[in-house]
Copies of this chain bind each other. A is one copy, B any other.
Amino acid sequence: MESKNKITIIGAGLAGSLLPIFLSKKGYEVDVYERRPDMRVEDIGGGRSINLALSTRGIFALKEAGLYDEIKKISIPMFGRMIHPVEGELTFQRYGKDDTEYINAVSRSELNKALMNFAEKEDKVKFYFNERCRGLNFHEGEVLFQNEKTGVITNVTAERVIAADGAASAVRMEMLKMPRFNFSQEYENYGYKELIIPAGKDGSFQLEKNALHIWPRGSYMLIALPNLDGSFTCTLFLAYDFSLGGENSFEYLDTKEKLDSFFERKFPDAFALMPELEEDFFNHPTGSLITIKCYPWCHNDKVAMLGDACHAIVPFFGQGMNAAFEDCTTLKALMNEHDGNWDKIFHEYQKLRKPNADAIADLAQENFIEMRDLVATPRFQLKKKIEAELHKKYPERFVPKYSMVTFNRYPYETAMIRGKIQEEILQELTEDVNSVENVNWDKAHKLVANKLTEIDRA
């Protein structure tokens, strides 16, 4: 009967390292197979974003796992956006209502290592590295792995398989051949490049430490998040092709001269802090941005997918990891509710999560335009002020979309629907008003009152 309690997880990324903690606490034996080497032993590098924005959903999951106190120590609070114009003064846009609401810059690899170490403390959890998934038998729960170093093939059988193998999921590729499997993958016409602002003297921060920095430039942008060592990881988001972005494109920026000229003109303050710009730019890979949607996520009680494997999203709402962790806490709650009935657990899991995964995918795509363009406009800033006022007046009914997503655990779909309703109200209130003093508050309250039923229904 041992295999009844055995679960195979494919992928030891963030969610694939968190979930075993929940599973083992429920008495399951968990084997986690990871394609890459053990990042705690070997530096695996690669062009993935080096730090992440950990927010409420992710924190909730880490607390449920008993790991938050440890992660809090390696997190840097970011209280708002620091907007860098080409010329003139920086402006700070607070994310939340006050200093109690913030997001956290955290190193992806440190977080991943901490999760692995913590999971391994559970004696029912084992990690296997360099094991690439080569095939899957959906009915038998049988998975084929090939060792990347030795070439040895292993056939693993478990009662259940959970795929946490990311946007290029091997398991999803197998699902694609199943009848009636719906799937889409959509690339942005923009790529990204990671760059570094190193620490100053004695590890000092050369930009405000407790902020997410944005250089919004309309059709493209640079952002920067702080690291513990005083450096910032910057990410340039830019059109791939000259045909779309003109001189503001990766295709155009093919010499050091063009690159320097571009940065000097567009991001002068950042440029001054980037001694390694040319080296970083021409050595780091250009990352791509993909949105993946699919359904179903599960096959009977045998196979389930989670995180990027079934809902990869673009990074502009900082919710990729947070959403994947919420998959894990949803599974945990359903394990408690439907003890051992995995058919029910998987069925409910995908039904609950799918509309929310779709919603955060759409919200993240929309937020690219907000970050690269709108945040710099007076109207956006005015809307933010009105939104904050209305939130004070209606603390439960009118919650800023950013807050619903980031500082709360409203279902993403609710946040999307209510966000749209609120945006319509803000749009109407700012139609012919250009300062918060001139806002017609009577009209504002009437508009909100008209929408209360819709808001409550969402």
List the interface of chain A (C-beta within 8 A of B).
173, 176, 179-187, 240, 288
Contact = CB atoms under 8 A, between A and B. Distances in A.
B186 A185 contact: no
A186 B182 contact: yes
Contacts of A173: 176
A183 B185 contact: yes
Contacts of A182: 185-187
A149 to B, nearest CB: 22
A263 to B, nearest CB: 25
Contacts of A187: 179-182
Contacts of A240: 180
Contact of A183 (B179, B180, B183, B288): B183
A181 B186 CA distance: 8
What 4 A-B pairs have minimum CB-CB distances, sorted nearest first? Answer: A184-B184, A180-B187, A183-B185, A182-B186
A287 to B, nearest CB: 10
A301 B393 CA distance: 62
A180 B187 CA distance: 6
Contacts of A185: 176, 181-184
Contacts of A186: 182, 184
A176 B185 CA distance: 9
Given A182-B185, A184-B185, 17 more contacts: A173-B176, A176-B176, A176-B185, A179-B187, A179-B288, A180-B187, A180-B240, A180-B288, A181-B185, A181-B187, A182-B186, A182-B187, A183-B183, A183-B184, A183-B185, A184-B184, A184-B186
Contacts of A288: 179-180
A181 B240 CA distance: 14
A183 B291 CA distance: 11
A427 to B, nearest CB: 26
A294 B180 CA distance: 18
Nearest to A189: B180
10 contacts: A176-B176, A176-B185, A179-B187, A179-B288, A180-B187, A180-B240, A182-B186, A183-B183, A183-B184, A184-B186
Contacts of A181: 185, 187
Nearest to A286: B179
Nearest to A240: B180
A296 to B, nearest CB: 11
A185 B175 CA distance: 12
A176 to B, nearest CB: 8
A352 B100 CA distance: 54
A316 B363 CA distance: 33
A176 B186 CA distance: 11
